[in-house]
Structure 1
């Protein structure tokens, strides 16, 4: 059917064509059969007429002249509706029922007429043709005749009009065509009415299928069991239900895979068989600054690592199945992050072997490894110095048979001081480990920072007196309540005071201040020492870290005090930092730390504290 025709038009046209052919072919065959029968009947009549005329000519002995014969022939022709012609053997017309005798010699010869030619070789010649002389179609029948009293040997021919037969046939044909047309029109109208009856269910079915084709898989086509297309509608509904169920399963599976893919902490990059990026997950997107249009790019365009690009290319160029051992390498990005990268070959559905690249951030592991190595080295160094001193003085005492009491006392004091230093270092390490692991619960309660400062200063008084350092504080006399563990607050003040005294000038001053900042209290401990270089200000809170020019064991420092302060303030929800040089100066250092301010609910449980500022 021609493209663009509706189903109704195509169905109607097809049915009409089939109906037309079904009616036309039998009717035409029937018409042809009747036409052949009528024609045969006319031909047989012409033959019988020829035989009748021949009999009359043979038995017309009473006819003595050509004029009488002409009259007899003309009368017979008029009665039978035939045209009778007698010719000589050479085709000259001797007698014709429709031509006067005086005109006969002027008539053209009939020697070349088909019926005359056929009669010369057969018993009887027959031809149905159009006569130009009389402008009609005739059935011509001719037979060879012997000589008689009036005529020499020649041919006898009769002509029966065939136009009458054709008129009958044409009338019959018109009747057939009219009947066929009427039947065809009736059948077409009936077909059209049937198609109109099918139009509504077809429209419903078409709209339903179009909606399902538009991804509306919830759409259903409703037909009653006695309607057409009921089975087809049920099949379409079942198909839509199956597709909807399968798509839901695929969608849920895709969501689960995407959730797993995007929920992974490791960065993941998927490559096609050409080594181009297909997708990345959120973790990898956060690791690198990726362009919005990353698909179709090479890994080196996303991550500036030639080693990664070459490893991916080598893996994809090698043949073999995906069971091949994955490639592993480590890369370091510009921000100092270190990643353990695993490249595995995978097979894609569209064909070809691609690869999956997994990035595992091991920066923290590397940092912890360095911290562990530094810790072991620092502890070894810090322990080695006092142990070497203890060993040296002990060996000296053992070598002396009778050591001088004053020397013995001095050596033993040095040994004791180094032992105390080692004990303090071990205690600080244990406390630092507990703070880092949070194994010791924080007993937060409203605490008076002035009392904690005074308790810490009393502990540091001997060290301060040795250097002539004085303490100046700006904490109000009535106190400022903070929510913390009182003993840990004392330790923070003590560590900061010891650090400030140790680095203050001889006869210097250590100043302690405080201020309320929103829901926290900020404290500051200031000294007038040489200060801390900018590049070391972030590292002074690391364990065992010391600025080399101020390093020494004479002060008894373990190098863990500031690290302990950082963990205590952090565990209380505060912060600690250093500013050097001092604000408005060129030397000195000021350590700041914050602690949560005690709330009114906290203060109601402890009436011994004065009201907060």
Structure 2
């Protein structure tokens, strides 16, 4: 029996079980019906045969010579209508149930009786509608009676009622069987459905990422292997996911631990993943996943280089320099990676952002340093060379000019010596090789010595010093000579670049164990763009005025290294807080314990 695949399991089970139940009920009932029908007919035939045999014996014993009267007498004796038909077809005695107009010799039971001695046929009573049995017996050996056939009709109503009862039982059993099958299948399917739903829920949970989900209530034997397989599958998936997650976490930890920024691109040149350093380099890039790099970094060259590396015929790696956030410069190395997202999706790329801003800055400082040293030495050397050539000329200059030329040569030579001495001093400070003599003392002493060294310059410009530091108020542990050099450099700048007849102030305060000293002037100030570089070597805001005072351009760089070597810091504020002009150089030193 073929069942459509579109039907549900419940329907299929119902159809199969119902079919088997109907077959199992129908076969016994059909056999019983057939056997009962056979028994009833056999009983009717036996009764009819006995009655015909009795009628034959009564005819044999009858003394009447009229065959019609004899048959009528026998009918009266046995209480049944008996028909006698001669072999020539003559009807000697009729009956109400017999149609005498037909060919009586061709009746089935008559033909059988002539052949075998007795014969039977079945029919329906036209009056009652009941089934009847027609029986016939041949009469061939009775004296004084012509050869012929006796016929009798046997009613079988009892047999019909029994068969109808069997048929009714069969017809009524069908709905009962259907109901029982439906209820049984319903209960069975509910049990199976619950087991199946439990397994389906577990499989769905595993598919949605809940790899700890298991089938706790194992179903019957039918689904036990399937349930165990699902649990085993979930355990294996959980183990593999744990391994993959661990590897992913390790890789992410490595990426996040890198100082360099890392950007992973897929085969469509879209951002797939970034590390923590990359998030710090480009703020908000974590919200740009699955977007093109050009949407985050405004560099068409970077976008084009990434596409070239990702392309099938592109290079394995490429490098490009990017300037981000103005002063940050990055060396970006782009390397092709096979199947960055998944197998069959083509190669991707990994871009590593290496910050070379400090290298670029140091390179620029080196270039500037070489250029500045060359410039600072070229100017006095040119002057020395020119005056020397003049002195050596023929005829030589007048005696009065020779002394002036020699003084100029000495002045420029002293300036070059000062530059060289400052460079050597700065080099020793940077390398930590400068000789230091740390002692506890009052910084007022250094202030007085530094101002005394600048007294000639201060008197020439009419500059006056004013300090709020008092004797024996604060003590520091430092190198007095180096600290005096810091004050001298700051005082010289304040005197040189401040207006004439002005005031240089020294103010202080103590904060968290540090002595904070501020040197103020009322000069034109330092532009904000120059304040970041004011402590670089040879850097000057007013370059045209540096040679006017014989400055080397190294004083502030030396001061910064001295202060930092003493555990403090130095910076500039221009204009100072609460003023509209002027400059304040502020540095801190730790107080003596």
Say if 2:317 is the partner of 1:326: yes
What is the SS of the residue equivalent to 2:412?
Answer: helix
Return the offset for 1:301. 2.8
Return the offset for 1:493. 0.7
For the residues of structure 2 that align with 1:298 and 1:564, how far apart are their CA atoms? 49
Selected match of 1:559 from 541, 553, 567: 553
Say if 2:487 is the partner of 1:493: yes
Return the offset for 1:186. 13
Residues 178 and 520 of structure 1, relative CA distance in 2, 3 Å threshold: same
What is the SS of the residue equivalent to 1:339?
Answer: strand
Native 8 Å contact 1:267 1:359 kept in 2: yes
Equivalent in the alignment of 1:591: 584
Equivalent in the alignment of 1:267: 261
Native 8 Å contact 1:92 1:108 kept in 2: no
Say if 2:497 is the partner of 1:503: yes
For the residues of structure 2 that align with 1:74 and 1:435, how far apart are their CA atoms? 161
For the residues of structure 1 that align with 2:307 and 2:283, how far apart are their CA atoms? 23
For the residues of structure 2 that align with 1:216 and 1:116, how far apart are their CA atoms? 84
Equivalent in the alignment of 1:352: 345
For the residues of structure 1 that align with 2:90 and 2:258, how far apart are their CA atoms? 119
Native 8 Å contact 1:221 1:233 kept in 2: no
Return the offset for 1:559. 0.7
What is the SS of the residue equivalent to 2:449?
Answer: helix
Equivalent in the alignment of 1:575: 570
Residues 307 and 46 of structure 1, relative CA distance in 2, 3 Å threshold: same
For the residues of structure 2 that align with 1:509 and 1:41, how far apart are their CA atoms? 148
Selected match of 2:443 from 443, 449, 472: 449
Equivalent in the alignment of 2:330: 339
Residues 86 and 209 of structure 1, relative CA distance in 2, 3 Å threshold: farther
For the residues of structure 2 that align with 1:400 and 1:143, how far apart are their CA atoms? 187
Selected match of 1:373 from 367, 372, 375: 367
Selected match of 1:290 from 260, 275, 284: 284
Return the offset for 1:593. 1.1
Note the alpha carbon deviations across 1:560-593, whole angstroms, 9 max, x for none.
Answer: 111222333345232320424896565xx33321
Native 8 Å contact 1:77 1:84 kept in 2: no
Within-5 A mapping of 1:369-408? 369-396=363-390
For the residues of structure 2 that align with 1:468 and 1:561, how far apart are their CA atoms? 22
Native 8 Å contact 2:390 2:396 kept in 1: no
Equivalent in the alignment of 2:6: none
Equivalent in the alignment of 1:66: 68
For the residues of structure 1 that align with 2:358 and 2:22, how far apart are their CA atoms? 94
Equivalent in the alignment of 2:514: 520
What is the SS of the residue equivalent to 2:536?
Answer: coil
For the residues of structure 1 that align with 2:137 and 2:406, how far apart are their CA atoms? 173
Selected match of 2:251 from 252, 257, 263: 257
What is the SS of the residue equivalent to 2:288?
Answer: coil
Note the alpha carbon deviations across 1:77-134, whole angstroms, 9 max, x for none.
Answer: 85xxxx8667899x9998566x3xxx96xx696779x9759969x9799765654422
Q: Which runs of 5+ in 1 are unaligned?
A: 2-6, 604-613
Say if 2:430 is the partner of 1:432: no
Native 8 Å contact 1:484 1:595 kept in 2: no
Q: Which runs of 5+ in 2 are unaligned?
A: 4-8
Say if 2:298 is the partner of 1:307: no
Return the offset for 1:504. 4.3
Native 8 Å contact 1:340 1:359 kept in 2: yes
Residues 408 and 37 of structure 1, relative CA distance in 2, 3 Å threshold: same
Residues 516 and 319 of structure 1, relative CA distance in 2, 3 Å threshold: same
What is the SS of the residue equivalent to 1:514?
Answer: strand
Return the offset for 1:72. 2.9
Equivalent in the alignment of 1:541: 535
For the residues of structure 2 that align with 1:372 and 1:597, how far apart are their CA atoms? 32
Return the offset for 1:469. 4.5
Native 8 Å contact 1:270 1:357 kept in 2: yes
Native 8 Å contact 1:66 1:150 kept in 2: no
Selected match of 1:29 from 4, 27, 30: 27
Equivalent in the alignment of 1:610: none
- Taking only aligned residues, the RMSD between alpha carbons, in angstroms, comes to 5.8
What is the SS of the residue equivalent to 1:558?
Answer: coil
Residues 537 and 231 of structure 1, relative CA distance in 2, 3 Å threshold: closer
Residues 169 and 473 of structure 1, relative CA distance in 2, 3 Å threshold: same
Note the alpha carbon deviations across 1:441-470, whole angstroms, 9 max, x for none.
Answer: 988764422112123234334544565644
For the residues of structure 2 that align with 1:210 and 1:341, how far apart are their CA atoms? 46
Q: TM-score normalized by structure 1? A: 0.70
- Bigger drift between 184-193 and 31-40 goes to 184-193
Q: TM-score normalized by structure 2? A: 0.72
Return the offset for 1:325. 2.0
Say if 2:271 is the partner of 1:277: yes
Residues 284 and 131 of structure 1, relative CA distance in 2, 3 Å threshold: farther
Equivalent in the alignment of 1:481: 475
Within-5 A mapping of 1:6-25? 25=23
What is the SS of the residue equivalent to 2:587?
Answer: strand
Native 8 Å contact 1:217 1:243 kept in 2: no
What is the SS of the residue equivalent to 1:510?
Answer: strand
